[in-house]
Every structure is written in C-alpha cells, then in structure tokens.
Structure 1
Amino acid sequence: MPLPMNPKHRCSHTDLSFHDEGSMRVTFFSLVAIVALIVSSASSPTFANKTAPGDEVMPGAHEALSGAHEAWSGSDEVLTIAHEVMPGGYETVTSYDDMQAVGNQEPVLVGVRVVPPFVIAEPEGVYSGLTIALWEHIASELDLDFEYCELDIAGLLAGVSRTVADPPDAEIPALFAAASALTITAEREELVDFTHPFFVTGLGIAVPHKPAGFWQAILAFISPEFLWVIALLALLLLFWGMLVWYFERAVNPGDFGGTPAEGIGSGFWWAAVTMTTVGYGDKAPKTFAGRLIGFVWMFAGIILISFFTASIASSLTVSQLDSRVSGPQDLPFVRVGVLEQSATMDYMEENRIRHRTYPSIDAGLQAVSDDQIDAFVHDAPIIRYYSVRDFRNEVRVLPGTFNDQYYGIALQLDSPWRNEMNRILLDFIASDEWEELNRRYLGRL
C-alpha cells in the first residue's frame, strides 16, 4: 500500500546527539538577552550612581528578561529533549522510543534480511514480501517514517538490542525494529522483545531429487522387501493349494489327482487363479470342504492382492525417490546441513545432531544438489520457495513439517510501541487482505 514515507535501502548510523538548529537558536537568543540586560542596566542613571536594587534598574532588566523568555519559549522542542540533570550537565535521547516521543523527524532504521517469500529484494533498494507488507501496514497505521537496513541474522538481533546512545558502530547501527522471518526463541527473547507471532510454520527437509532410471526400477523388484512379499505370497498359495488337494484328491482326481507333487501343483495353480480373480475354470473343487476352502480363499485373495499391489507401488516409489531420508527420525544418521546462526542450528545442537553450517540457503541447497550432504533443514515455506525457483528437478522438500516455528517482529526491550503494534498486527492478520497476501506469496508452495 502507498505510504507517506520513502523507505529506501540505506544502512547508515544516524547521529542523535544534542546538536540541532533549535539548540543554536537557544544559544543565540540567550546571548542577546544577556547583552540587552547589561546595556539596559549600564544606561540607567541609577546604575551610575549605584542605586540600590529595586529602584530604576529593574524596569530595564525586566524588559531584557522578557525578551529572553520569549527566545526560550520558542525552543520548547529542544527543552523537551534536554533537561538539566546536574549543574553544567544535560541528558540526551537514549532510544528510538524517546526520539519518537519528542517528535524527532529523523527516520528510524528497520532491519531486514532477504528471505523469500517473506522479504524479497527488488531493484533500486525496494523490498517486498509477506513480512514487508505487514510491517509497512503497521508503520502506516503508526505514521512512522523509516528506512530499511539489510543485515544478517546476528546483525538484526545485535542492532535491535542496541540503543542510539550506544557508541556508533559502522557495521551494526541501532535498529528500531527487525522485520524478516525471525523465529521467536527463548534465547532471542533475552536480547529483544517480539510482537505476537504473525506466521506459524515448521522445519522442512530438502533432499536430492533423482528420478529412477530403467535399471533402478528393475532393482526395485529384487529389493529385500519386495522379495519377502513374494516369498510370503508363495507360501500362502502353497498352503491353500495343499488344503484343496487334500480334500479333493479322492473325489476329484481329474482336477487334483495324480502323484502328490502333481496334485499339490494343481492346487497351487487353482489358488493363484482364484486369488487374482481370473478364474479359468479348468479346475474347481466339488466336495463341500473343498468349496468352503475356495469360498474363504476368494475373499482372502482380494485382501492379499491389494496388499501385494501396494507393496509393488511402494517399492517403485522408494526407488524413484532415491533418498536416504524420509523424515526427521533419519537426520541423526545422515549428513545434514543448516543455515548458520539460525534457529534450526540451535535445534540440531539441542538434539545433538551432527550438522554442517552454510552462509545462505542457496549454498545449502546447492550442497544437496551436489551430493555433498543428504539433507538441508530449514523453515519449510522458505526452502520450498528456493527449491521451486532455483533447484527444480534437483532438490525436493519432503512432505510435512516438525518443530513448530513462530515468526515475529523484533523490537527493543520494553518497547512502548509493542502493545499498539500487537493490536494492529492482530487486526491485520485476521483480515481478507492478509489472506490474499498469503495466497500471493505462498499459494504455489
């Protein structure tokens, strides 16, 4: 939405010390008042005669002091900023909150980190994305003038935890807020405050995507799992074939007669065609016991053939995926990559999962594509966005998430803006506009 501000990309430290036009104006008028007082007093006859205080000196002095009072009354803004704390000393603004409270027009700095689809870098220093849309709505409601400053995760947290009264830092300025895809954690809450969560997600796992070739499909049919299914099925066919042969051999020698091997072979054949519902009709039981066995085997065969079909499909799917990772339970046994200084890295350390760190999500997914690691773990919507945009047919993200992540906007500790921002945030994420933004940025993920 259009804003009455110019949020350009700039990352410079703003000097908020007590030096401005108002303070110079106060100093000038103060000197004028003192000179006027001296001139008025010196020109008075009673002054030359050293008249006692209260005779003719005071009227001239009163006029001079009135001029001084007018000069000072025109500088209320400056007097609001600086108040006397001890003889000869003044206290300056110590935070962005103090600065805004006294009406300073200097734009505040808002830290961002490019994390599509939440923060997307556009040409000429312009930003878009889900988090940017939320922040600019909040800033518009609060009539805040701001500028963006791009930093990494550590820089965002360090910048928000600083105040404008801290010694200047050329690399990490004091930030009014940080709007990105920052996960709310207990450790970060010790450094900064967060708004209410505006987005809830979880960790996702990116793995290599390698479609199976012809020989891989063939090998899937001779996998141990598939061979066990075939062996079990053969035993069941043999068992039911022997049963029907036992009850039919004397009464129905034409179908199940001959030597035991021939009779059992005929029973095996009958069990197979019955289970597959082909039913050639060349062999059929005639005794009551044989027909009862056939009746039970018909329904059992329907269940077994469904199980057999599912096993084949599963074997083919596994061969097509060609991945050692099927879920978070596999992470301790494979090569895992995470983004450095991220909440995912904290999760790996807490769960004692060995991992490698990467400076960017692109670098981590590239490592998966190059078979340097088996899985890259990060927030699910973010790695889905990257995999679809930059690594199609090279990397895929497993379905499902784990270890819920809550995103919030970081503010300075005990910020008086927090309650009002929370109210605006909650109203906005309950609106139709927020739903439309989610469909716009996350709909294809």
Structure 2
Amino acid sequence: MAALRILIVILSIYGSAAAEQESYKVGVPLVPGICQRHPDNGLSGFAVDMWREIALRSSLKYELGSCGSIPECMAKFFSGSLDIVIIGIQPSRENSATAVFSRPVYVSGIRILTRDKQQNPLLADIDALTTLYSPMVIQSMLVFLIFVLIFGNVLWFLERKDDALISRSYKSGISDAMWCVLAIKTTIGFGDVVPKNSHARLLSILIWLVGLLLINLIAADIVSEFAATKMKSSIIGLEDLKGKKIAAVNDNITISELNKIGAVVVVKPTLETVYEEMKTGKAFGAALYAGVVTVYAKRAAADGLSVKIIPGRYNNRYTSIAIRRTAMLKDPNLLNKINRAIDDMYEDSYMLFLKSKWLDEGSR
C-alpha cells in the first residue's frame, strides 16, 4: 500500500508539471488597433481578441500580456522570456532558426499618413491663382498683346481715310483701332467703333478667326497651369514623396522602400514616436503598417489634425504568429492547432469581423 501511495503521489506531481508545461507565455506589442492597455491594465485590440479566440478553439492555456514595443517584444521572444508573440516578428530565414510561424493573420504593408495642408479648398484655389504669373501664361498674354498691336495698326491704316470714328492722327486713332480689334477678337462687339471700309471688314473676319483660336489657346494654357499648380501643391501618390521627410520605425525593409522613392527617412524607435514626429510637423509624413494606419488617422482627427493616407500599398508582408521552437516541445501539434483555428476563423468570417472592428480592414 505504501508503494502504491508513493506511485500515486509521483504521478500526481508529474501530471501537475505536465499541466503547467502546457501553459504558454504569450506577448503582444502595444500598437493602436493591435493592442492597447486600459487604466485597469486590461488589454484589448485585434491581436488580443484574435488570440483569445484561437486559444478557445484550440483549448490552449496561456498567460497573455503586453510586451511593450515591437523591438521589445522581439528581444523578449528571442531571449526565451516569451513562448509566443502575436504580430511583430516577420518570417525570415534568420528568425526561422528560433521560431516557427503560423498562417498569415493578414497581409500588411506600409501606408504613408501625411498632414493635409490644403484644409480649406477656397484657400487652395486662391493659391493656385498664382499661375497667372507663370512663364507660360505671361508668354500667352504677350502674344495676345502683340496680336492686338499688329492688327490695330493695320486696321488704323485701312480705316483712317474713310471713317471719322477712327482719327486720322496716329496718336489718337491707334487706340480706337486697337479697341476695335480687341472687341472683334474677344467676340464682344461693343459697336462704338466698327470698320466701314470693305478691306477693313475682310480684315475683321480674319481678326475674328485668328482671335478665336488664340483666345482658346490662351484659356487652355491658363487652365492647364492652374490644374498643374493644384496638383503640385498636394500629394497624389508615393512618387510625390521624393525629398520629403518621412518618419519610420527602424525596419530595414521599410527604410529601403522609402529610399527607393527618394524620401528622407527619419528613423524612430516606435510607431508612437513615428506618429508624434508627423503630428508635430517635424516630419512630412509617417510610415505606418497598413493594418493600423486608419487607427492613427482617426486619432489625428481627434487631435484636430486634417490628414490624408497616400493611395497605394507597398512593402507588402505577411503577418503571422511567432512560436518558439522550444514551445513546440510542450505540444508538437501546437502549430497545427493554431493554423487550424486561423483557417476556421477565416472560414466563418470571424477574422474579417475582427479586422473590421479594430483595423477597418476586411481583406486577408
């Protein structure tokens, strides 16, 4: 009986140890939308809700907590303090030596959030009126004046003998002739000075035809310059960021992509400091992960800022759950369980629900 009791005690101790081994230390980075801490130290966000659902469907025991910024989470994970990190560690050959990765929980990328300087459309239009001083418009106006001057002289020469409305004196008659050319050219036709001579009337037809073409060309130049100035004063796409200061986290891939488009990269340690750099105007824009850019855009609106998200996504990356290989020793089927839960959550649209709830994103 004594031996049996000892065996039971040993088995109970072993069972308790085994049960304890099945609990995993799970960390999630503090990123708006992904994970945020409440005053009562509670956590909420896309990654938090997603992991709780995965654990529920997979019957996993865990201790969930925030591991700080993404670099801090990476340091804790690779030092062995955490078994699992939800979002923040990218699949790579180097990382695969320490970790295995789940199916992607979403396809992320980099989006640029910038302050929208053209907050008042009326002010933007007034600013675009400076196109009236552009070289192209000035050149067109000079052509217009030369046209009036040349045809005014010809009309005065033809009319000075026959029409008392145009003075024989060049000094006083040329102004009347140029006024008549201007009225014909712009199709206004005031009628106070009109050609009487048959040759002058034929000339007026020529003035009207050439003037009509010239007026349309000048108008087209002004409109095109006006539109071009408005486009230059606003950021349309990634190519417009050349030479602009863009704040970004210390991510080699992100920095490389920003360098490719000619942006001036300002490296900051966390997404929070990246956003603050843009908010305070020290940087023109902030390079943020696509999954959280709308969260920061809403935050900017709450801060009283007018912002815009640059269209187009680049630097696409698959975001997964990282699991230490040592954690797999506790349960060799751990990765399969997590992947099965992720697939089921996509199948029943629960993952899409979480993305819509926290990230305003409904794509895988």
- Give me the TM-score of the superposition, normalised by structure 2: 0.67
Equivalent in the alignment of 1:403: 315
Give the aligned residue type for 1:377.
Answer: A
- Cα shift at 1:268: 5.3
Identify the structure with bigger relative contact order (alpha carbons < 8 Å, sequence gap 6+): 2
Describe how 1:34-433 pairs up with structure 2 within 5 A.
67=4, 72=7, 103-104=19-20, 107-151=23-67, 152-161=69-78, 173-175=81-83, 177-180=84-87, 182-184=89-91, 188-210=95-117, 220-222=128-130, 227-234=134-141, 237=144, 266-267=180-181, 270-271=184-185, 273=186, 279-282=187-190, 290=206, 293=209, 297=213, 301=216, 305=219, 308-309=222-223, 311-312=225-226, 315=229, 328-329=238-239, 333-340=243-250, 344-345=254-255, 347=257, 355-390=265-300, 392-394=303-305, 396-400=307-311, 401-413=313-325, 415=328, 416-433=333-350
Question: Cα–Cα, structure 1 residues 250 and 116, in superposed 2: closer, same or farther, change >3 Å?
Answer: same
Query: Structure 1 residues 180 and 71 mapped into 2: Cα distance closer, same or farther (>3 Å)?
Result: same
Paired with 1:247 and 1:79, the residues of 2 have a C-alpha distance of 114
Q: Determine if contact 2:24/2:62 at 8 Å carries over to the other structure.
A: yes
**Structure 1: runs of 5 or more not aligned:** 1-28, 34-66, 82-98, 164-172, 274-278
Shift of 1:117: 1.2
Give the Cα separation in 2 of the matches to 1:147 and 1:440: 24
Say whether the 8 Å CA contact 2:248–2:255 is kept in structure 1. yes
Kept after mapping to 1: 8 A contact 2:111/2:314: yes
Letter paired with 1:405: R
Contact 2:29 2:35 in 1 (8 A): yes
Aligned partners of 1:240 and 1:267 also within 8 Å = no
**Separation in structure 2 between the aligned mates of residue 156 and residue 147 of structure 1, nearest angstrom:** 15
Secondary structure at the aligned position of 2:72 is classed as helix
Equivalent position amino acid for 2:314 in 1: F
Query: Structure 1 123/438 Cα, relative in aligned 2: closer, same or farther at 3 Å?
Result: same
Q: Which amino acid aligns with 2:352?
A: E
Post-superposition offset of 1:193:
2.6
Instruction: Supply the RMSD in Å over aligned alpha carbons.
Output: 4.9
Give the conservation status (yes or no) of the 8 Å contact 1:367–1:373. Answer: yes
Call closer, same or farther: CA 1:265–1:295 in 2, change over 3 Å.
closer
Structure 2 partner of 1:61: none
Structure 1 residue matching 2:134: 3-state secondary structure: helix
Unaligned runs of 5+ in 2: 195-199
Query: What's the counterpart of residue 39 of structure 1?
Result: none
Contact 2:27 2:82 in 1 (8 A): no
What is the CA-CA distance between 1:425 and the residue it aligns to?
A: 1.7
Residues 290 and 116 of structure 1: CA distance in aligned 2, closer, same or farther (over 3 Å): same
Distance 1:406 1:262, change over 3 A: farther
Q: 1:267 to 1:435 in 2, by over 3 A?
A: farther
What does residue range 6-17 of structure 1 map to in structure 2 within 5 Å?
Answer: none
- Tell me the number of residue pairs that the alignment of Structure 1 and Structure 2 aligns: 336
Superposition deviation, residue 419 in structure 1: 3.6
Write the letter of the residue equivalent to 2:342.
L
Cα distance 1:189–1:181, how it changes in 2: closer, same or farther (>3 A)? same
Paired letter, 2:72: G
- Distance in structure 2 (CA, Å) of the matches to 1:185 and 1:308: 54
Taking a change above 3 Å as real, the CA distance of residues 354 and 221 of structure 1, as seen in their structure-2 partners, is closer
Contact 2:291 2:361 in 1 (8 A): no
Seen in structure 2, the aligned counterparts of structure 1 residues 404 and 106 have a Cα distance that, compared at 3 Å, is closer
* 1:78-134 deviation per Cα after TM superposition (whole angstroms, max 9, x unaligned): 7799xxxxxxxxxxxxxxxxx9xx654653111101111122323433322222222
Instruction: Find the structure with the greater CA-based Rg.
Output: 1
Q: Residues 374 and 72 from structure 1, CA distance in 2 versus in 1: closer, same or farther, beyond 3 angstroms?
A: same
1:443 Cα shift? 3.8
- The CA distance in 1 between the partners of 2:182 and 2:352, in whole Å, is 61
Q: Is the 8 A contact 1:339 1:359 kept in 2?
A: yes
Matches of 2:129 and 2:211, distance apart in 1: 31
Q: Which amino acid aligns with 2:285?
A: A
Distance 1:436 1:251 in 2: 82
Distance 1:251 1:184 in 2: 86
